[in-house]
């Protein structure tokens, strides 16, 4: 195992962990409930680690990405339903990311939002066209490490570390009214959804095939999943903790991403603000690219087309046309004038509804000796996989009622 | 004939008794040797469990638009959860 | 597994991706064609690839939509062109020899061949 490659892989996972949904919900969760929702981030992170590791293992053992095998296992009707549901979910998520990038650019430069959305879509399309897969992942992932300014800000504001540590223990704050309890539950579901977005697993497993992972990369897969996503999650938790310390006591509701950037401005001034906005810009752009490519992977793999950015764009024409069209559709959604925060809410909702359909086939595939041979799920992976499937199914059932009962978390 | 003409189609005996639906087709040496039929559910396909009647292809009399007619009389004993029952020959467990 | 091995067509063949001799994906096994009939020997004849095969697998309205989007092309892959069956179906020849890359070639005409590293 090449230590440099492994380090790059971990750093890419760290820088690529936070997207617009996690940013928004981490900041809101902190300002609304203090440190009480940290454990939900931790629970969600364990979940995404479990399923990412599984999807990487499936890619290595079966030499196929998840969606290729999903249709075979589910059959065409249920497979098509899963595909349509995940395409819609990922498209809305991509639109939220594109809108988020445009908003951040508006904060950074003052340029108008809609033209920035169009311009950034073109830039992202060009970047996917020009760069080979490894560099797409690394450029956005490594530049996203600028988000570490949020972790630095947390250290600089001297938070109550004991309370942050206490936030990792699963609990519900005492003394909440029924409305507040429901809002807490909604935030829990939303955070779970944001951390365990389906596109992450599709992108990760297809990325493994793109990079030519072989059985010797099993350990790399495991370390990248656990360490990379674990550390990335700490960044999201830092945003939550900053918000709890800075915004909660003064009743500031970080409705827009710009407010979250103030977390770094307060301790570090102008440069803190600039670095925070730059970090958000790269992280959210990276998420836009990932969601778009994850969708293109799913569609191409479902229909058996040639796919992958390890090929030149003209060597996989239908795949290329698909991701360009998907980016264009995401941009159209943004240009229709739908508010970015509304898109984030819808992305979260659709994602949690689709999650059980996404993860069940993966769980079954990873547990099938015929495909996995000696790399089949062990007792721990099996237990955790089924536990998380139960959790996300419960969350999926609760999502819509909680959304309506709490007016999308606004109480 | 195609696989989709057989799969999920009702299987009826010559007496008109419905035996189930085809959920698997077994091939050996490129020849269809048997149909597996039973109350095939999504869960069974997902878990790749084998449940149901194994009907050798020789017993299939005709394939109609809505059913496959077979010369097969199922034994009266209840169906085994793990094994399969053959239409002829000794019972075997799989 | 080769095509002559014992095989379960629904759980071990249907909906598997096809990989040609050049390592290129060229579709999914959307259906399987037999020669013969009830009361006679029924043999594997060809794999059917393409949206045209969905007609018998999807509800009418869904197939109508698929046909509008993707057409109803159907390509036959003779069984003697199949090398192995496992997690994918590997073919003995290039996909283009069987007409499996027609759509890729057609769409490829719109994709510029420059600028990628």
Buried b (16+ CB within 10 A) or exposed e, A384-405: bbeebbebbeebbebbeebbeb
Distances (CA, A) of A320 to A68, A297, A308, A326: 18, 10, 9, 10
Instruction: Say whether residue B49 is in contact with chain A using an 8 A CB cutoff.
Output: no
Q: Identify all chain B residues contacting C33, using CB atoms and an 8 Å cutoff.
A: 1-3
- Rounded to 5°, angle at Cα A298 from A125 and C80: 120
What pLDDT is attached to residue B78? 42
The phi, psi pair for B12, rounded to 5°, reads: -125, 145
Low pLDDT (below 70) residues in chain A: 1, 411
Euclidean distance between CA atoms A193 and A185, whole angstroms: 12
The conformation of residue B79, written as its DSSP 8-state character, comes to: P
CB contact under 8 A, C15 and A68: no
Task: Check pLDDT > 80 for residue B42.
Answer: no
CATH of domain C9-108: 2.30.30.240
Q: How many domains does chain A have?
A: 1
Give per-residue pLDDT as tens, C20-46. Answer: 999 899 999 999 999 999 989 999 999
Which helix (H) or strand (E) segment is A92 a member of?
A: helix A76-109
Contacts 24+ apart (CB under 8 A), B40-43: B40/B8, B42/A75, B42/A78
Which helix (H) or strand (E) segment is B22 a member of?
A: strand B18-28
CATH number of the domain enclosing A24: 1.20.1740.10
Task: Check pLDDT > 60 for residue B87.
Answer: no
Give per-residue pLDDT as tens, A398-409. Answer: 999 999 999 888
Of the candidates A82, A44, A117, A139, the one whose C-alpha atom is nearest the C-alpha of residue A348 is A44
Other Cβ atoms closer than 10 A to A256: 16
CB contact under 8 A, A75 and B45: yes
Task: Check pLDDT > 70 for residue B90.
Answer: no
- Residue B61 maps to a domain: yes
What are the extents of the domains in chain C? 9-108
Establish, for the pair of chains A and B, how many residue pairs have beta carbons separated by less than 8 Å. 11
What pLDDT is attached to residue B79? 44
Q: How many domains does chain B have?
A: 1
A132: containing domain: 3-405
- Residue B82 maps to a domain: no
Percent of chain B with pLDDT over 90: 44
The set of chains that have 3 or more CB pairs under 8 A with B is A, C
What pLDDT is attached to residue A47? 96
B1: nearest CB among C3, C14, C37: C37
Provide ipTM, 2 decimals.
0.93
How many separate helices (H) and strands (E) can be counted in chain A? 18, 0
- Residue A108 maps to a domain: yes
Residue A161's Cα: distance from chain center in Å? 26
Euclidean distance between CA atoms A124 and A202, whole angstroms: 19
What pLDDT is attached to residue B86? 45
């Amino acid at each position: 195992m090449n230590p440099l490659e492994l380090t790059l892989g971990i750093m890419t996972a760290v820088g690529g962990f936070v997207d617009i949904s996690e940013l928004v919900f981490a900041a809101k969760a902190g300002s609304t409930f203090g440190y009480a929702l940290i454990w939900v981030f931790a629970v969600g992170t364990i979940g995404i680690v479990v399923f990412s590791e599984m999807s990487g293992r499936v890619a290595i053992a079966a030499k196929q990405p998840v969606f290729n095998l999903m249709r075979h296992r589910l059959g065409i009707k249920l497979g098509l339903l899963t595909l349509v549901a995940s395409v819609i979910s990922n498209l809305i998520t991509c639109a939220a990311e594109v809108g988020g990038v445009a908003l951040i650019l508006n904060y950074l430069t003052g340029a108008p939002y809609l033209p920035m959305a169009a311009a950034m879509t073109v830039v992202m399309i060009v970047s996917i066209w020009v760069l080979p897969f490894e560099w797409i992942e690394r450029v956005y992932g490594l530049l996203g490490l600028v988000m570490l300014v949020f972790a630095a800000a947390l250290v600089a504001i001297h938070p109550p570390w004991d309370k942050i540590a206490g936030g990792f223990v699963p609990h519900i704050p005492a003394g909440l009214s029924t409305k507040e309890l429901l809002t807490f539950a909604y935030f829990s579901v939303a955070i779970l959804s944001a951390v365990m977005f389906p596109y992450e697993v599709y992108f990760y497993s297809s990325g493994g095939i793109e990079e030519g992972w072989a059985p010797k990369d099993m350990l790399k897969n495991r370390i990248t999943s656990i360490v990379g996503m674990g550390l990335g999650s700490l960044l999201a938790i830092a945003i939550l903790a900053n918000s709890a310390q800075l915004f909660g006591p003064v009743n500031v509701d970080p409705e827009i991403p710009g407010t979250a950037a103030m977390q770094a401005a307060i301790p570090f001034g102008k440069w803190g603000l600039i670095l925070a906005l730059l970090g958000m810009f790269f992280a959210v752009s990276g998420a836009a690219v990932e969601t778009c490519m994850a969708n293109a992977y799913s569609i191409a793999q479902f229909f058996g087309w040639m796919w992958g950015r390890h090929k030149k764009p003209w060597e996989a024409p239908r795949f290329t046309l698909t991701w360009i069209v998907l980016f264009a559709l995401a941009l159209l959604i943004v240009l229709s004038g739908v508010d970015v925060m509304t898109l984030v809410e819808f992305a979260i909702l659709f994602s949690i509804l689709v999650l059980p359909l996404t993860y069940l086939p993966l769980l079954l595939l990873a547990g099938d000796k015929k495909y996995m041979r000696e790399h089949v799920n062990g007792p721990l992976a099996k237990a955790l996989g089924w536990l998380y499937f139960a959790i996300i199914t419960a969350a999926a059932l609760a999502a819509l009622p909680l959304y309506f009962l709490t007016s999308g978390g606004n109480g | 004939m195609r696989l989709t003409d057989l799969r999920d189609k009702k299987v009826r005996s010559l007496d008109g008794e419905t035996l189930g639906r085809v959920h698997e087709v077994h091939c050996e040496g490129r020849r269809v040797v048997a149909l597996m039929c039973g109350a095939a559910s999504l869960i069974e396909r997902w878990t790749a469990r084998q449940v149901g009647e194994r009907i050798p292809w020789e017993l299939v009399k005709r394939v109609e638009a809505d059913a496959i007619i077979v010369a097969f009389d199922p034994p009266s004993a209840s169906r085994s959860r793990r094994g399969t029952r053959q239409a002829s020959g000794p019972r075997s467990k799989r | 597994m080769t095509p002559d091995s014992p095989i379960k067509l629904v759980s071990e063949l249907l909906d598997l991706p096809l990989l040609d001799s050049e390592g290129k994906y060229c579709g999914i096994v959307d259906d399987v064609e037999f020669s013969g009939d009830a009361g006679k020997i029924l043999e594997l004849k060809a794999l059917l690839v393409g949206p045209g095969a969905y007609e018998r697998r999807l509800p009418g309205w869904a197939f109508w939509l698929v046909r509008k989007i993707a057409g109803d092309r159907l390509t036959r892959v003779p069984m003697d062109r199949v090398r192995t069956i496992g997690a994918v179906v590997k073919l003995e020849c290039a996909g283009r020899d069987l007409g499996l890359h027609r759509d890729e070639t057609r769409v490829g005409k719109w994709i510029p061949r420059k600028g990628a590293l």
